[in-house]
Structure 1
């Protein structure tokens, strides 16, 4: 499907060099995406590929994707096309935007904030990963439910290890609220009230005090 030439799209403040996975908002000046070529095979830079994808997304029939673009407006990072080795040569993986999950994954990649900048899911670390995004990008939890954009693209968002970790942490939090002993994590502390944190701190101090007394008794036996 050939894309009509859209109005120039502003990238949110900042533009890393082509091939960089840095967040664009970390740089001080904004740029304008170039006019996209009519065909993906005519794109030779990350900027051109990003512009081509944005143009295609603006023509999508999927309202959720259009709503994401309308809500965030500014592109926050480039699309870095994953490459795999075929017949001894590195070649870009093929991708399509012909389903709602596929189009949504690109909209989330390009337009939403990144929730996690350090963790990589198991699918993206696999040698069998077909991307199509070179980065394992976990979008804002309000939109991707914790899954990375590659897993969303492949229709396996519910199996993404990043999402499963969050679901387990939420389950632990529910168990904590039900007075069952949870595994205390930073995420549980983040959602706890000040009163709960103060109570836990008091309990920890009391327990450490009791253990110190026991150790002292053992030392004098």
Structure 2
């Protein structure tokens, strides 16, 4: 009887180890995510940084946003989420400046989703400073405050950094997610928004070990 119990215990241990290995190997480098060489510095301390690179004018980013919102409600405790506006070309600068303007004016949480909705649901062309100013004004932001901040040194500095990091991360499109400055994840490799989030969680766990 004791031998039977021992054999059963051994079988269970082996089965559990096999499952752990299978889970650990579910996502592969070069298949589901890419390594960034060299790794880039992060802005977080004692947490795993999960950085999303996006553009307000991107329909894929718009569709990814609800998934991000759900992930944020259940994200790993040791994960720190950061957004970075991608800047591939001059036409993307308006969105990036709007992002940093909203941040500095303290209205980002209020305006982030409405900007996406205005562009993709209402089909508004928020592709100039004036158009973006009018939109901010509709949301209660003083036009003078908008203009001063939008064209400020602080926003200009952040915009230059966004351009630099967009290039350093080696992304070829948005949305893209960078985990701890080391790994690049996108739907191009994962195949879907839902799967992208699973890979992100996998990499957060990997970086937590």
Normalising to structure 1: TM-score of the pair?
0.20
TM normalised by structure 2 equals 0.21
Structure exhibiting the larger radius of gyration computed from Cα positions? 1
Higher relative contact order (CA 8 A, sep 6+): 2
